[in-house]
Amino acid sequence: MSLKILLPTTIPLDPRLPGDFTVVSYDPHEPLPEHAVDAEALVVWGNSGEMLRDAARRLGSLRWVQTLAAGPDQVLAAGFATDVVITSGRSLHDGPVAEHTLALVLAAARRLHRLTRAQIGHRWAGELGGIQPITTSGAFRTLRDARVLIWGFGSIAGTLAPLLTALGAHVTGVARTAGQRGGHPVISADELPGELPVTDVLIMILPSTDATRHALDAARIALLPPHAWVVNVGRGSTVDAAALLGAIRAGRLGGAALDVFEDEPLPADSPLWDEPDVIISPHAAGGRPLGADALIAENARTLIEGTPLRNVVAR
């Protein structure tokens, strides 16, 4: 018996599927055509929320949803039946997100955002060039000996941490379970009050859940030293943006490099745009699911075999 799998047109996909599967392409921005509603499998990438809700209502034979996003929050919110297995794109974005995060951290350290503003104004920013102090206590100006805290120490952090340590940073992770991962110490969130005051850079890679909403709130922001930077490449809902901006404006925080926001696109009237020590990128860290074909093919095989799929999302 042939199983129908729906593949989105937002990315070229050619997974080596078992012969039991028939492939149907679909537009993630349009309602599913009638000839697709008997599909057993759905691959998601760049879908609108409306389209996903429509799919959840109409795909009566659906057994499995594979999102290529690292965070499955949009799929979880669509209302798929509880017996539908949802698998995430965990690991597909490790390299791209780690690379982008490193770029944001280095941009903050070397003040590239201020150099860009000076360039636009045709101003030679001499204060940022020429002879510079070797040690910069009370300021984040280098990864050399910097204390970097990564909150959300999953597979992306596992790729990012060695890049940071290669440039001299001391990396600590934060996860639900404390211990050691990849040679790096990992603490629990309960231990944050002791770690935040000695942090130079806090990197947020948390998923969007009820439990993580505004995980970085005013109280925790207040524990960071005045020179610290916050970098968020996880989900915008995990940071209280108003509290973050208030701390930066009051001189109680060095700055922030943000790739994700609670409202996306970031509204044109957001005060974040004009803050000199806020770096904004348009949810650009991911967007390149490397190895998607292999993950889809692997999970399609295990679906037929009746064995556990990879990256199953707890519901």
Tokens of 188: 């629990």
Q: Is 141 a catalytic residue?
A: no
Token pair listed for 307: 């064995």
Q: Report which DSSP code applies to 70.
A: S
Asked whether 75 and 67 are in contact (CB, 8 A), the reply is yes
Q: What angle do CA 245, 286, 225 make, to 5 degrees?
A: 30
Active site residue 235: yes
E-only strand ranges, 81-208:
85-87, 147-151, 170-174, 179-181, 184-187, 201-204
The H or E element containing residue 294 is helix 292-305
* Choice among 235, 249, 288, 301 that is catalytic: 235
Candidate list 214, 227, 252, 283, residue with the active-site label: 283
Six token digits for residue 81: 């039946």
Q: Is the dihedral of CA 153, 154, 157, 159 positive or negative?
A: positive
Q: How far is CA 272 from CA 151, 207, 245, 275, in A?
A: 22, 22, 7, 5
Catalytic residues: 235, 283
